[in-house]
Amino acid sequence: MNDGIVREQLYQRYIEPTKKKRQDYVGIEIEMPIVNLDKQPVDFSVVHTVTDRFIRHFAFEPAGIDDEGNIYSAANQETGDILSYDCSYNNLELSLGRRKDLHAIRQCFRGYYEFLQKEFGAYHYTLTGMGVNPHRTINRNVPIPNGRYRMLFHHLNSYKNYTVPMFFHSYPEYGTFSSASQVQLDVDYDDLLTTLSVFSKVEPIKALLFSNSVLLGEHEELLCCRDMFWENSTHGINPHNVGMFECSFDSIDELMSYIESTSIYCVERGDKYINFPPVNIMEYFRQASVTGEYFADGAYHSIEVTPQIDDIQYLRTFKFEDLTFRGTVEFRSVCCQPIADCMTVAAFHVGLKNRLHDLDQIFENDHVIYHHGYTPSELRKMFNNRALPSFVDEDELYAFAKRIVDLASDGLSARGYGEESLLAPLYDRLEQRTNPARKMLTLREQGTPLEEIILQYGAI
């Protein structure tokens, strides 16, 4: 296929939507672990029962049915709100349809959450606000039985087949026990490059404030293992598909070149999800066919795939700042937060987006974390750890982080919805020099039972 055709389609998919003038909407996705407080694996029949009751109560309509006839996704057509299960039935996700006011989103989330907690509570289950399911070693970490998640699970488990010069972790099932808090914000064409660049620079501060995914009993010095899960899996074979933008872009052409450097690893043909070793998107369309695998009748089968231009829709990257086909940037590096603090993630990003160029200037002139020889990615990895890097002055670091939160508060105040109050938990973390992961480890060291922490992080 002609390279020019592919480039034009990529431009139409990712760049053109940012030129459309839109309202300043916010979309929020909150994934949450489901925990059986009897310290037994989550019984998926309980999950299906609660799902059915939720759908009836809130007048949602089934949107996804697995191969065993169970609902894994349901939506409210009026609001755009979605209840779904991400990767497995151990991980519940609430996606709140786009709205302007974060307080309205919070009120809607609260109504759904309180209903779910009541229903799960009848079985001695709970939802909680942790980035790693605290019962991951107890649960059945299996994918939802449908084409997409079975394909994804197979793709991640294929890491042993590769001889690429990179480290693979041994948690290919991580999607079944890791939970995130993601935000989508409309981005204008004129601000696109600055948004990707400056929010990449914010990532180390986000690690400091929001880290909340600890592998209890393993690697407890790592406060946010979320990055490792993605970057050191088959998703990270092409590093341009994951993590941060290591380069700044001086033009849209340079951004397009970056998009052209990413890889595709799956497509769909009829009712078959097909995965294959990641291949550069431009190279994919230059080939007459690609050999992949699909699942049928209890086994995987080889199949030859002829590239079609519509396959661009299956180009999935997992960047911390991910440009989407909706004309939005999805911020996806933050772990699920304690439920009472769940709106801090959106509030932080919305406020900073509203002060984008001020934020850019702060980082241009910073010497607290930058200009010490480290890239944003290297700093993010350092701040993901319990021990801060030795070159950083802790007092200066937290003062600098407060300056960023203050700017977010100012940006929210200018919106006129009173949303700046949602940042209060971040000010508490700054004052105490902690984050949810640090707090959890401290509580554990003080003898607080894990089940008590689970309930505490699940309180709203």
Q: DSSP states of 148-179 as a string? A: HHHHHHHHHHGGGG---SS---S-TTGGGTB-
CATH number of 3-262+317-458: 3.40.605.10, 2.160.10.10, 3.30.590.20, 3.40.50.12370? Answer: 3.30.590.20
Round to whole Å and give the CA distance between 329 and 403: 23
Give the helix/strand (H/E) hosting 229: helix 226-231
Query: What length does the chain have?
Result: 460
| Radius of gyration of the chain from its Cα atoms, rounded to whole angstroms | 22
User: What pLDDT, on a 0 to 100 scale, did the predictor assign at position 24?
Assistant: 84
Considering only CA atoms, which of 420, 437, 419, 417 is closest in space to residue 429?
A: 437
DSSP β-bridge partners for residue 293: 275, 302
- Residue with tokens 């779904």, as numbered in its chain: 84
Give residue-wise pLDDT tens across range 190-226.
Answer: 999 999 999 999 999 999 999 999 999 998 999 999 9
**Structural tokens at position 250:** 């001086």
pLDDT tens digits for 363-373?
Answer: 999 999 999 99
Q: Phi then psi for 17, rounded to 5 degrees?
A: -60, -25
pLDDT tens digits for 294-311?
999 889 999 999 999 999
Tell which phi-psi region holds residue 395, choosing left (phi > 0), alpha (psi between -120 and 50) or beta: alpha
- Both structure tokens of 362: 């702060």
What pLDDT is recorded for position 247?
85
Owner of token pair 């808090």 = 181
CA distances from 74 to 66, 150, 177, 232, 305 (A): 12, 19, 21, 32, 31
The residue ranges of every structural domain in the chain are: 3-262+317-458, 267-314
Neighbouring CB atoms inside 10 A of 331's CB total 27
First-last CA distance in the chain: 53
Residues lower than pLDDT 50 in the chain: none
User: Tens digit of pLDDT for each residue in 265-294?
Assistant: 999 999 899 999 999 999 999 999 999 999
Q: What is the pLDDT of residues 154-181, one digit of tens each?
A: 999 999 999 888 999 999 999 999 999 9
CB 141 within 8 A of CB 177: yes
Backbone φ and ψ for 185, nearest 5 degrees, come out as: -125, 140
